[in-house]
Amino acid sequence: MKSYRKFRCNYRSNGNPPRSDRTHRSKIYNGRLSQSRALFLLPSLTGVSVFVLFPFGDVAKRSFQTAMTKKFCGIANYTTIFHNQAFLLAVTNTARFVVVGIPLLLVLSLLLALMIDGSPFVQGWKSVYLFPMAIPTATMVLIWKLLFSGNGLLNGLLRKRGVPPTDWLGSDASFVVLVFSYLWKNMGYTIVLWMTGLRSVSVERKEAAKVDGASRLQCFLYVVLPELTPMVFTITVLSFLNSFKVFREAYLVAGAYPQQKMYLLQHLFNNWFTNLEMDKIAAAGVCIAAVFLIGVFALQRLWDRQE
Amino acid sequence: MQQKKKHYIYPRFLVCLLLFFSVSGLMGCGNSNKETGSTGSNISKDENTNNHATAKGRYMETQLSTPDGFEGTGSLVQMSDGSLGIFDYQNGIKYISTDGGNDWSCEEVTALSGIIQSCNDLDGAMAPDGSIFLSYTMWNESTAEKLYPEKYVYLTADGTKQDFELGLEDYKTCLTQEIFSPDGHLFATTDYKVYEIDVWNQSYKLLFETEHMDGLSMCTSGTQLVVLDGTFVYFYDYESGQLNSEDTVLNTFVAEQRVAGSGIALCNAIGEKAGSSLYLASRGGIYHHIIDGSVMEQLADGNLNTLGDPTRTPISLLPLAEDTFLILYQNGELYSYVYDPNASAVPEEQLTIYGLNDNETVRRAISVFRREHPEVFVRFEIGLADENGMTADDAIRNLNTRLLAGEGPDLLLLDGMPIDSYVEKGILADLTSQVAEWKTNNDFFENILQAYQQRNGLFALPIRYEIPIIAGTEMDLKGIRDLNSLAEAVERIADSGQVKWTVLGTYTAETLLEKLYPLCADAWITADNRPDEAALREFLNDARQIYSAEQKNLSEERKQRYARYMDMVYEFYSVQEAQRVQLGMDTQTQDQLLKEQILAAGYLYSMRDYRTLVSVRNEYRNNARDYRFQVWNGQTSNLFVPTGVVGVCANARNPETAEAFLETLLQKEVQKVDLNDGFPINREAFEAFTAQPSIGNDDYSLGMSNEDGELVGLEVKWPNTEEKEELRHLIDSLTTPVQTNQQIKEAILSAGEKALTGEKSIEESVDEIVQKISLQLSE
């Protein structure tokens, strides 16, 4: 795409009509490019088509059918889910989790990456922050219970300081627990990603900025941050995908019906599948995929524009 | 131009390929529906048949005749001359068959008749040479020094008789099992101890002690005595006097069979394998095991023969040849198992039943159905088998995946499954017409059978049910109609000063909630599928009132003692059995008699429970105290607890066979047997179900003592005609099945416990429960 655009750009910037042999050469070039693109894309595209696109096509079809008898029912399933209180609650909670969790993760991990980047013990710090990723889910669940149960460590600490204990998993505080565990588990990985970006920032440009009298903040805001912009898209998408994994811990600790603030879309889908509500799952799946695609395209467009 | 065209071939080819995949993929997804018209795709019967037709070879079962009057009180022995022998120690008769068990000649052992007619608690064994060992007690000779002294008789084949006593453990124990080895050694077990008895010197030698005591079984293999104590298998070399190392594989197998409630018969292998291999018969089938080997080789599948029937327990296994076995069952039936290499490994037609948990009545029905339809192989799949470590939700999701793929079972045992959702989604077939047809030939308890009737049809049928009962003196029961009046009564009784420990026998909040949940759960959901906060609040208030009253007279020491007792119960029994100890009427009514609780409120699971209930009532009446029982109502009235709800899948591969099996399930032949899993749904079977069994359930006297050393006697008698009629009326009054919702139950148990113990306020607990229930209901 990039080279094609460059070519188009050159053609436009030139201002002169192209010569016929030049046009011909460019078409040959484009044709070869298409061939090689097609060949390179074919294996992975086939895999994606067979395992993702076609099944999704079936899901989209099922979203207009009844659950098991598969009779066409129009948009009834969509109407049903948008009147379903559990779906609305799960969407709200998931959206809130994404809106709160991902920016927090991005900002905190960037700050930590900046701090670690200048530290003499970079590898040590990285290992410390990556450690939660190595902890198996079953152990995480035990840690959750140790920390957040009624007589857990956290409440013990609170009691010592004279603060009344909180029902971390049975009250609205469960949302804080959810966000905290997401941050804790994914911080290390995100820090590593940010550090990769930081290392790619041109040292000469930073030096030049300093020579021109830029402060550390200015240097970060006007030199480092713009260079990190391509990383934002990747990290955001990865963080979004990782955010779905927090369901495992939530499910194992609090079961299929946790405190309302912890009730995510995955809980709902899990429970719907247990009750064989395939019609609702299909309709909700299509809606969520649409929102996800819109989000990804919006991010990509934003990125392209900034580029 | 040629070049130009070529440029666009690849992208077009790619697009076409993707389109092809898309269209064929989507068509493929929809094909199943077109064929079946309903759920998923079907595997054709032909395909199904072909898969199984390829494997050949199966042990074919044949029932052999057993002597008239023989009821299983004796073991099967291969005699020295190759004939088969059984010594019926109950009747003093020796049976011999020279044609492999087809015809039996009988010979009364006159030398022992006098003893057999006058003694109590008999047991005996016959040696391959025809000599007989008999152990017995004479109750009337019991003294303070010799409490129920056990005596022994040894009768040689030529008629020489020796009477003797051994004084095992100072006459405080008696022999439970005896066997002769082929070389004439006599081995015997008491509870926990294994002896060798020298009949000529009239002495005994303690060989070793076992860890457990239930399901003892013995055989000899070479010079080894093999003893199975229900959990472990011991190998004792009686020549060297060494107890050999344990066989882990065999121990694991035995433990699994014990959990499955199966009896095990074992014997030495014959031919080249003799001395190094064992054969075992259990509910799972016939197995071969090389001692210290790594596998249990299944020779015959219990699902294909009588071994899988929960009403049959193998007591003797005898190999006649490498591929021929005889099995004698506890009820006196004898079957031969002969390997037929040309028979298909399993019958070609298959019927699959899926349930989350095992079910004895279904197993019994499989056995009966298999006899009526030998051409059908009934496969009973259990979702929550011990080895797979699944949760109920995992198992249901797996089942749903199969249902969606059109590979679901033919019948569903719906206990613990989302019945309403399956009905709504068209998974279950409407059984209205079939039930109407069955009713022409059978007389059912209609109130139970039709309990799941919906406006659009009858999709689920209960096959067994438990009855909630509350029992006590007239004065104590007075005014108890529902949960609210029960709470008031319990408080009143607790304050009356007559309570030693508890009123209802509930020591923990969890037990109380477990007891009350089935009686009230229906009241917590409104008609428009919302949680009823007021009903929940009322429930928790009443439950807290009961719990507080229960705790009033309980000391910490007593609570700890009870906790230790329950730990032992859970260690000894399965979880289900242990829960029955807490919630069942059998234990509670006895505790009532011991004055450890005032009211007995629980569930009747079987005639055994009912027998104890009426016996306790008779005991009270004998002491001029008025005692009665009634259906226990909570926030909902006239409830019963279904213990097996069955539905036929609308997409069953063999709908006719599935319906035929369901009919068998409801028929008298299956329903008449008391399997300790609930009462019959078939009115005609009720007569046979309530009839007094001839073996092991005779009337007896029970002596009990409480912690103060106070002795209480109970004459346990089988219910008479009026009492059986009373039970029938009780069943007739039941109208509503308890709908158990595991999520709601968990929410109640977790939040309710906190409310009862005061950890949370009632309001907080109600909010927590409502929040969880709302989530589920709003989905």
Residue with tokens 């840690």: A143
Closest CA to B719 of B599, B559, B592, B607: B607
- Residue intervals in chain B for CATH 3.40.190.10: 349-462+644-671
**A45, B18: Cβ pair inside 8 Å?**
yes
Distance CA A86, CA A92 (A): 10
Residue A17 DSSP class = P
Scanning every residue of chain B, which has its alpha carbon at the shortest distance from the alpha carbon of A257?
B772
**B772, A38: Cβ pair inside 8 Å?**
no
B14 — contact with chain A (CB < 8 Å)? yes
Q: Write phi, then psi, for A172 (nearest 5 degrees).
A: -60, -15
Residue with tokens 């109502």: B633
Distance CA B753, CA B745 (A): 12
Mean of the pLDDT values across residues A203-215?
Answer: 88
Which positions in chain B touch A271 (Cβ < 8 Å)? 776, 779
**B30, A70: Cβ pair inside 8 Å?**
yes
Contact A239, A103 (CB under 8 A): no
- Among A27, A170, A273, whose Cβ lies nearest the Cβ of B397? A273
- Among A41, A70, A150, whose Cβ lies nearest the Cβ of B33? A70
B478 — contact with chain A (CB < 8 Å)? no
Q: Where does the pLDDT of residue A247 fall: very low under 50, low under 70, confident under 90, or very high at 90 and above?
A: confident
Mean of the pLDDT values across residues A229-244?
Answer: 86
Contact B276, B337 (CB under 8 A): no
**A69, B18: Cβ pair inside 8 Å?**
no
* The pLDDT of residue A25 is above 80: no
- Among A27, A68, A275, whose Cβ lies nearest the Cβ of B426? A68
pLDDT at residue A75, as a whole number: 94
The pair of three-digit structure tokens given for residue B106, joined into one six-digit string: 């009988």
The C-alpha of A238 sits at a distance from chain B's nearest C-alpha, in angstroms, of 28
Distance CA B360, CA B363 (A): 5
Which positions in chain A touch B33 (Cβ < 8 Å)? 70
**B779, A84: Cβ pair inside 8 Å?**
yes
**A256, B768: Cβ pair inside 8 Å?**
no
**A58, B29: Cβ pair inside 8 Å?**
yes
A23 — contact with chain B (CB < 8 Å)? no
Which positions in chain A touch B426 (Cβ < 8 Å)? 68-69
* The pLDDT of residue A306 is above 90: no
- Among A41, A54, A263, whose Cβ lies nearest the Cβ of B26? A54
Residue B375: burial class (beta carbons within 10 Å; 0-12, 13-18, 19+): exposed
**A53, B22: Cβ pair inside 8 Å?**
yes
Structural domains in chain A, sorted by start: 76-137+185-306 (1.10.3720.10)
The C-alpha of B34 sits at a distance from chain A's nearest C-alpha, in angstroms, of 10
Which positions in chain A touch B40 (Cβ < 8 Å)? 68
pLDDT mean values, one per 10 residues, chain B (779 residues): 49 56 48 37 40 74 86 87 90 90 89 84 89 86 74 90 83 83 90 89 89 78 87 90 89 83 84 86 93 92 89 90 91 92 87 93 93 91 78 91 91 93 92 94 92 94 96 93 96 90 93 94 91 95 96 91 89 80 89 91 94 94 90 95 94 92 94 93 93 70 79 89 95 92 86 92 92 88
Scanning every residue of chain B, which has its alpha carbon at the shortest distance from the alpha carbon of A50?
B21
Contact B218, B205 (CB under 8 A): no
The count of CB pairs under 8 A between chains A and B is: 110
The C-alpha of B458 sits at a distance from chain A's nearest C-alpha, in angstroms, of 19
Instruction: Determine the 3-state secondary structure of B167 from DSSP.
Output: coil
**B426, A69: Cβ pair inside 8 Å?**
yes
pLDDT at residue B345, as a whole number: 85
Contact B27, A52 (CB under 8 A): no
B779 — contact with chain A (CB < 8 Å)? yes
Angle between helices A174-199 and A122-134 (to 10 degrees): 140
B4 — contact with chain A (CB < 8 Å)? yes
Q: Where does the pLDDT of residue A9 fall: very low under 50, low under 70, confident under 90, or very high at 90 and above?
A: very low
Which positions in chain A touch B21 (Cβ < 8 Å)? 46, 49-50, 54
**A27, B4: Cβ pair inside 8 Å?**
yes
Which positions in chain A touch B42 (Cβ < 8 Å)? none
Scanning every residue of chain A, which has its alpha carbon at the shortest distance from the alpha carbon of B754?
A150
B427 — contact with chain A (CB < 8 Å)? yes
Contact B319, B265 (CB under 8 A): no
The C-alpha of A39 sits at a distance from chain B's nearest C-alpha, in angstroms, of 8
- Among B11, B400, B747, whose Cβ lies nearest the Cβ of A34? B11
Which positions in chain A touch B776 (Cβ < 8 Å)? 257, 271
Task: Give me the DSSP letters along B492-535.
Answer: HHHTTT--SSBSSS--SHHHHHHHHHHHHGGGGB-TTS-B-HHH
Domain B349-462+644-671 has CATH 3.40.190.10: yes
- Residue intervals in chain B for CATH 2.120.10.30: 59-343
B412 — contact with chain A (CB < 8 Å)? no
**A257, B747: Cβ pair inside 8 Å?**
yes
The CATH class of B59-343 is mainly beta
pLDDT at residue B322, as a whole number: 84
- Among A30, A34, A268, whose Cβ lies nearest the Cβ of B779? A268
Contact A73, A241 (CB under 8 A): no
Distance CA B153, CA B138 (A): 13
Distance CA A87, CA A95 (A): 12
Query: Which chain A residues in 229-258 lie under 8 Å from chain B, judged by CB atoms?
Result: 255-257
Instruction: Looking at B194-345, list the stretches that DSSP marks H as alpha helix, in order from N- to C-terminal side.
Output: 248-259
